[in-house]
């Protein structure tokens, strides 16, 4: 009530653990999950959206931040009284984050929403990669699963594009969970 259409769409996307992405060259909005894959998911070659060889990167930096190793979160819908707990796969869910309440939570959206906060556990590496735009890699998109030189993978958090007369560059920020579990 009393919200703009985009604010309502954003609320729905966030209740499902996602974000709104505006497609290039069209009037299309897409709701994407924040984490298509998490550090505890099995990965196959076909799961990667972008494969970036180290030799293509012209500049890179990495920041580190330590997060608690939560493995469960309780979610509630105060309007309906519905409550659920999302546990990280393969754990007892005994290290709980603070309870989250949202009037749009359903059984389905709780599962999707719960995955996002549990995906950040342990050492989080934020890699910033400067990559010349090339056909082999293409333009990265937030939410993509990016594999770096067959050494590690992460989720594209943001992308900015710049250009000169000689080259088009993309600066890609990739979030990687460095979990030793």
Q: Read off the pLDDT of residues 91-144 as tens digits, 9 standing for 90 and up.
A: 999 999 999 999 999 988 999 999 999 998 889 999 999 999 988 888 999 999
For residue 1, is pLDDT > 80?
no
Q: What is the pLDDT of residues 147-164, one digit of tens each?
A: 999 899 999 999 999 988
Enter the pTM of the model.
0.87
Three-state SS at 163: strand
Strand 122-132 to 168-178 pairing: antiparallel
CA 128 to chain centre: 15
What's the confidence (pLDDT) of residue 121? 87
145: tokens are 């699963």
The per-residue pLDDT of the chain, averaged, comes to 92
- Dihedral sign computed on CA atoms, order 73, 74, 75, 78: negative
For residue 180, is pLDDT > 70?
no
Euclidean distance between CA atoms 52 and 91, whole angstroms = 32
């Amino acid at each position: 009530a009393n919200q703009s259409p985009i604010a309502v769409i954003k609320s729905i996307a966030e209740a499902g653990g996602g974000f709104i992405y505006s497609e290039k060259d069209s009037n299309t909005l897409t709701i994407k999950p924040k984490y298509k894959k998490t550090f505890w998911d099995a990965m196959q070659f076909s799961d990667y959206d972008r494969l970036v060889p180290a030799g293509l990167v012209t500049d890179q930096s990495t920041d580190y931040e330590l997060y608690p190793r939560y493995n469960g979160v309780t979610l509630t819908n105060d309007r309906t009284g519905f409550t659920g707990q999302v546990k990280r796969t393969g754990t007892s869910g005994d290290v709980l984050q603070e309870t989250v309440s949202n009037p749009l939570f359903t059984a389905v959206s709780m599962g999707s929403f719960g995955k996002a906060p549990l995906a950040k556990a342990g050492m989080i590496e934020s890699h910033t990669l400067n990559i010349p735009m090339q056909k082999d890699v293409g333009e990265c998109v937030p939410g993509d699963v990016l594999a770096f030189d067959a050494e590690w993978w992460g989720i594209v958090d943001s992308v900015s594009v710049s250009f000169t007369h000689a080259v088009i560059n993309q600066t890609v920020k990739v979030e990687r969970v460095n979990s030793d579990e």
